[in-house]
Amino acid sequence: MSDTTHEEHHDGPHASGMWRWLTTTNHKDIGTLYLVFSLIMFLVGGTMALIIRTELFQPGLQLVDPHFFNQMTTMHALVMIFGALMPAFVGLANWQIPLMVGAPDMALPRMNNWSFWILPPAFLLLLGTLFMPGGAPAGGWTLYPPLILQTGDAFPFVVFSLHMLGASSILGAINIIVTITNMRAPGMGFMKMPLFVWTWLITAYLLIGAMPVLAGAITMLLTDRYFDTSFFLAAGGGDPVMFQHIFWFFGHPEVYILILPAFGIISQVIPTFSRKPLFGYVSMVIATSAIAFLSYVVWAHHMFTVGMPAAGMLFFMITTMFIAVPTGVKIFNWLATMWRGSISFETPMLFAIAFVILFTIGGFSGLMLALVPADIEYHDTYFVVAHFHYVLVPGAIFGVIAGVYYWLPKWTGHMYNETLGKWHFWMSTIFVNILFFPQHFLGLASMPRRIPDYSVQFTEFNMISTVGAFGFGLSQLLFVWMLVKCVKGGEPASTKVWDEPEGLEWTVPSPAPYHTFETAPKV
């Protein structure tokens, strides 16, 4: 492994206290920063979700003004997507990719520091808009003009903070691509990389392709508002629908940016706890690439009611339906990995199994949404809300949580409390279904999304959903408690942590030393 005499000179951080975290270029430190930041944003975004669910507990307006409600739906989405999920995945990438490819650090460590430290000011700015005249953006996270141009003084700050978040993501993506391409240990060919590394490589390319498109779209919004352009203003010859095309050309790859790394995590966890190699490694890589490619040619399925030629709708319907094929391959491969395995049910595996089931349910509703005539009825209802929350909460977020439980002993050197972990799992899984499953029914019964108040026939399922929301929110406090306990102490973790896990990260001691693989391992 690494040269111990060399390590003695560099066995810890060069600075202490706040200065260490501000100036660190160490991938483990930066990974920790990303993950802690993500957890804080998860709790902030979750609080906004609870405000939304509280107002929706019963019909009539009891708690918030409709304008503030719209600010909450908009900010909840922006905070969860850009503040909680994306940084969580980048944090996992920072910790794990160098450990998994046998590299001493990320390829561009100073840029790595910069790409994290752009985030806190960007979110200070974004959350600060809540206190500006006219309030935070209230036109939905999709920022559709002309409505979004009615935002108050906050408007340029929103655009600027999104630019910063985009810059941070692009820097992070470049770093990940360069690290994976150039810093793999000798003998680790591309087709020997762990699946998590593969899915992140593909995700990083999606980020580089998609984020500049968002930057372009929001810059055009800015010039429409302040510099007399009319890209999206009908009165000046522009077209508001063009924004939707540009936005979703970013937005659909973004959806896969939020799920592909979770696919990677699940593909690490299931083999470990089935004690069997991953089934169909090559087809997993091909399927991930196919999903990434398709994600660029399906964008208008978000816009079937906007008025498109029938031929265009058919094209986007068929490409969208075909995403079910590579996604199905992934699900089947995970099942085949468990088939004739020797399965045990530690917390990461529990979250991975729940992921497979609940993500599949989200996939089913996704397939239904692809069917244009039916989508016209589903569009902008709670059926859509249920669909994307199924793929993002028990999908992407459960993926992150599975990864955290799986690698936490390697990071902290302590085993987490398995009882707490199991409680967290069961509470989360039960409540997330109470929270989101009834929303399918609300949508089918024709409750539109993004409304602060509703007609009385929707009351019962909304009440159940709100109860589920509070249950789910409170369950996450168990997660925080478990994390604090595990960082502070606990049963020491062995080098391998689990029975026979695959991968280089399980060859370094637990906790992983500050510097690892200063001499490249042999694969």
Partner 1 sequence: MYRSKAHGRWLFMGIAAAALAIATPAAADWALDFPASATELGNKVRGLHHLALIICTIIGIIVFGVLGYSLVKFRKSQGAQAAKFSHSTKAEIIWTVIPVLILVGLAIPTARVLIEMEDTQAADLRIKVTGYQWKWRYEYLDHGISFFSNIDDASNAASILGAGHELHEHYLRDVDKPMVVPVGKKVKLQLTSNDVIHAWWVPEFYVKRDAVPGTINETWFKAEQTGTFRGQCAELCGRGHGFMPIVVEVLPQDEYDAWVAGLTAPAEPEALEEPEAAMSQTAPAAAGGASSR
**C-alpha span between 344 and 494 (Å, rounded):** 18
For residue 414, the cross-strand partners are 492
Give the nearer residue to partner 1 in terms of CB position, either 35 or 358.
Answer: 358
According to CB under 8 A, which one of 81, 317, 392, 404 is a site residue for partner 1?
Answer: 317
> Is residue 9 part of the contact set for partner 1 (CB under 8 A)?
no
Of the residues 175, 274, 347, 516, which one makes contact with partner 1 according to CB under 8 A: 274
Residue 464 or 523 with smaller CB distance to partner 1? 464
Inter-residue contact 173 to 254 (CB < 8 Å) = no
Give the residue with the Cβ less far from partner 1, 7 or 380. 380
Whichever of 96 and 274 has its CB closer to partner 1, that residue is 274
Burial of 407 from C-beta contacts in 10 A (0-12 / 13-18 / 19+): buried
Which of 47, 229, 360, 519 is the binder for partner 1 (CB under 8 A)? 360
Residues 159-198 that bind partner 1 (CB under 8 A): none
Contact flag: residue 463 with partner 1 (CB under 8 A): yes
Neighbour-count burial of 228, counting CB atoms closer than 10 A to its CB (0-12 exposed, 13-18 middle, 19+ buried): exposed
Total count of residues recorded for the chain: 523
Q: How far is the CB of 73 from partner 1 (least distance, A)?
A: 8
Q: What is the nearest approach in angstroms of partner 1 to the Cβ of residue 478?
A: 18
DSSP state for residue 486 in the 8-state scheme:
H
Please compute, for residue 196, the number of CA atoms within 13 A of its CA located in the half-sphere on the CB side. Answer: 30
Residue 267 interacts with partner 1 (CB under 8 A)?
no
Coil, helix or strand at residue 105: coil
Residue recorded with tokens 């085949």: 336
The answer for residues whose C-beta is within 8 angstroms of residue 283's C-beta and 6 or more apart is: 329, 333
In the chain the first and final C-alpha atoms are separated, in Å, by 11
Which residue carries 């929270």 as its tokens? 435
Give the interface segment with partner 1, choosing from 12-20, 141-149, 161-169, 400-408 (CB under 8 A). Answer: 141-149
- Residue closer to partner 1 by CB (options 203, 333) is 333
Site for partner 1 in 443-462 (CB under 8 A): 444-446, 448-461
Instruction: Name which of 188 and 278 has its Cβ closer to partner 1.
Output: 278
Which range touches partner 1 (CB under 8 A), out of 28-36, 108-116, 273-281, 507-515?
A: 273-281
139: contact with partner 1 by CB under 8 A: yes
Give the helix ranges, DSSP H, for 191-259. 195-226, 240-257
Q: Does 279 contact partner 1 by CB under 8 A?
A: yes
Q: φ and ψ at 100, to 5 degrees?
A: -85, -25
Query: Footprint of partner 1 on residues 385-444 (CB under 8 A)?
Result: 441, 444
Q: Are 427 and 477 in contact (CB under 8 A)?
A: no
Q: Could you count the other beta carbons within 10 Å of the beta carbon of residue 454?
A: 17
Residues belonging to the active site: 76, 105, 141, 168-169, 252, 254, 256, 267, 301-302, 327, 330, 449
Q: Which of residues 363-382 bind partner 1 (CB under 8 A)?
A: 364-365, 367-368, 371-374, 376-377, 379-381
HSE value, Cβ hemisphere, 13 Å, CA-based, for 395 = 24
CB–CB of 359/390 below 8 Å?
A: yes
Shortest Cβ 220–partner 1 spacing (Å): 16
Q: Which 327-356 residues touch partner 1, going by CB under 8 A?
A: 328-329, 331-333, 335-336, 338-344, 353, 356
Nearer to partner 1, 461 or 479 (CB): 461
- Give CA–CA dist 94/260, Å, rounded: 16
Q: Of residues 181, 182, 305, 419, which one binds partner 1 by CB under 8 A?
A: 305
Q: Which of 47, 283, 289, 507 is in the footprint of partner 1 by CB under 8 A?
A: 283
Tell which positions 64-123 bind partner 1, by CB under 8 A.
64-67, 70
Select the span of 12-20, 294-302, 311-319, 415-423 touching partner 1 (CB under 8 A). Answer: 311-319
Using DSSP, state whether 492 is helix, strand or coil.
strand
The contact pattern for partner 1, residues 196-235, with x = CB under 8 A and - = no contact, is --------------------------------------xx
Q: Would you say 112 or 381 has its CB closer to partner 1? A: 381
- Check residue 344 and give left, alpha or beta (phi > 0: left; psi -120 to 50: alpha): beta
Number of residues that bind partner 1 (CB under 8 A): 103
Q: According to CB under 8 A, which one of 208, 297, 420, 467 is a site residue for partner 1?
A: 467
Distance from C-alpha of 274 to C-alpha of 338, rounded to nearest angstrom: 6
Binding piece for partner 1, criterion CB under 8 A, among 29-37, 196-204, 251-259, 301-309: 301-309
Which residue, 11 or 65, is less far from partner 1 as judged by CB? 65
Q: How far apart, in whole angstroms, are the C-alpha atoms of residue 266 and residue 355?
A: 8
Residues 6+ away with beta carbon under 8 Å from 472: 393, 427, 428, 431, 432, 434, 435
